[in-house]
Amino acid sequence: MELRWFEDYIALAESLNFSKAAQARNITQPAFSRRIRALESWVGTPLFERTTHDVALTPAGLHFRNQAESLTRSILQLRRETCEVAGQKQAIIGFAATHALSFTFFPGWMQEMGRLMPLGTLNLISDSMQACEQVMQRGDAQFLLAHFQGQMQSNLPAGQFKSVVIGTDRLIPLCAPEFDQKSAISAGDVPWLAYRRESGLGRIMRASWAETAPSFALRESFTSHLAATLQSMARSGAGVAWLPETVAQSDVSTGQLVPFGAEDLIIPIEIRLFRPASRQSPMIEAFWQLVTKQGSS
C-alpha cells in the first residue's frame, strides 16, 4: 500500500470525476485509474461504483472515506514533525483561509497574535471555503480561518475537527446609492449578486434563508465565489450583494455602497478557527491554547 493511493482516493471521493481527480493529482487518467484499482485490490472490495457517465462511492467507500482522510493527515503530520525534530525543516504553521478573511481579518489578527508569542514561519493558502476544507482534509494546513454560522453545512466532520470563535462579522445587503430600491422591491425584480456554491458565505446565506427568507423576490443575476467581485458589481449598480462588513466597511464609509432594505436582512456571522481534533505538534498546541484563551476573554 502506498500513501499516494489514499491521496488519490480522497481526490476522487471529493470530485467523483476521474478526469478532474487525475488532473488535481497531476497524473494521466489511465495511471490514476490503475492506482485506484490497486487501492481497491489492497482493501479487498470496490470503493467506487462506475457507470458510463457517473462515479459514486459504494457503502464500503463511504465508510472508508473518514478513516482514510484522518489516517492521511496523521501520516503527513508525523513526517512533518519528524523532519522538524531532526532539524531538516523549520517549524511552519500552515493556514487555509477564505479569500474574504485573507485580505481583511487575517493580517491584523496575525500581527496581534505575533505580539503574544513567537510564531516562526507562517504559510497561508487563500481560496474558497470548499477548497480550504479540502486542504484541511488532506493535512496540508493545520488551521482553517473562515466565516461560519451554526446552521451552515460543513465538510469538516465534528469528530475529526474542532473550532473556536475568534471574531464576529455581519453579512449586510448593499447596493450603489443610485440603485432604485423601492421600485425593484415593488416590481418583484431585485437583481441579486449571489455567491457560488463553493463559497462558505453562500452556504451561510442558504442556511439562514432556509429559516427566514426575504419577504421580496430576488432574481439571481450574477454569481461569484469572491466577495470582492460581488462588491465591485454592487458598486457599479448591477444589483444587491450581501457582503461581510469587514470587506465592505470602507465603501460604506465613503458612500460608494449603501444598505439595502431593512435591518432584519442583516445576517450575523462568526469568524472561526478550525483545526484537526487529533494531537498536533507542541508549537501548534501552544498556538491553539493562546487562541482559545484570547477567544474566551
88 vs 57: which has the higher pLDDT: 57
Q: Which amino acid is at 93?
A: I
Q: Is the pLDDT of residue 119 over 60?
A: yes
**How confident is residue 266, by pLDDT bands cut at 50, 70 and 90?**
very high
pLDDT at 244 over 80: yes
Name the band, by pLDDT with cuts 50, 70 and 90, for residue 173.
very high
The confidence score (pLDDT) of residue 248 equals 95
Given a cut of 90, whether residue 36 has pLDDT beyond it is yes
Domain 3-79: which CATH number of 3.20.20.70, 1.25.40.10, 2.40.170.20, 1.10.10.10 = 1.10.10.10
> Is the predicted pLDDT of residue 297 greater than 60, yes or no?
no
> What average pLDDT is seen over the chain?
89
Contacts of 2 (CB under 8 A, 6+ apart): 35
Quote the CA–CA distance of 134 and 20 in Å, as a whole number: 14
Is pLDDT at 142 greater than 70 in this prediction? yes
pTM for the model stands at 0.74
Look at residue 163 and tell me whether its pLDDT is greater than 70.
Answer: yes
Task: Report d(CA 119, CA 137) in Å as an integer.
Answer: 23
b or e along 209-229 (b: 16 or more beta carbons within 10 Å of the residue's beta carbon)? eeeeebeeebeeeeebbbbeb
Q: Which residue has the higher pLDDT, 57 or 74?
A: 57
**Segments of the chain assigned E as strands:** 48-50, 55-57, 92-98, 121-127, 143-148, 161-175, 190-195, 218-224, 240-244, 258-259, 267-276
> Higher-confidence residue: 297 or 68?
68
Q: Label residue 233 by pLDDT band (50, 70, 90).
A: very high
Instruction: Answer whether residue 167 shows pLDDT above 90.
Output: yes
Give the pLDDT score at 296: 58
pLDDT in tens, 82-103: 766 666 555 678 899 999 999 8
Mean pLDDT across 3-27: 89
Would you say residue 236 has pLDDT above 90?
A: yes
Q: Which residue has the cell 448593499?
A: 174
Contact call for residues 135 and 127 (beta carbons, < 8 A): yes
- Stronger pLDDT, 86 or 181, i.e. the higher one: 181
Fold topology of 169-269? D-Maltodextrin-Binding Protein; domain 2 (3.40.190)
Give the DSSP H or E segment for 131.
helix 129-138
**Does residue 223 have a pLDDT over 90?**
yes
Domain boundaries, the chain: 3-79, 83-168+270-296, 169-269
The CATH architecture to which 83-168+270-296 belongs is 3-Layer(aba) Sandwich (3.40)
| pLDDT number for residue 67 | 80
> Mean pLDDT throughout 21-26?
90
Supply the pLDDT for residue 188. 82
Per-residue confidence band for 280, with pLDDT thresholds at 50, 70 and 90:
confident
Task: Evaluate whether 3-79 and 169-269 have a shared fold.
Answer: no
For the chain, the distance separating the N- and C-terminal CA atoms, rounded to the nearest angstrom, is 47
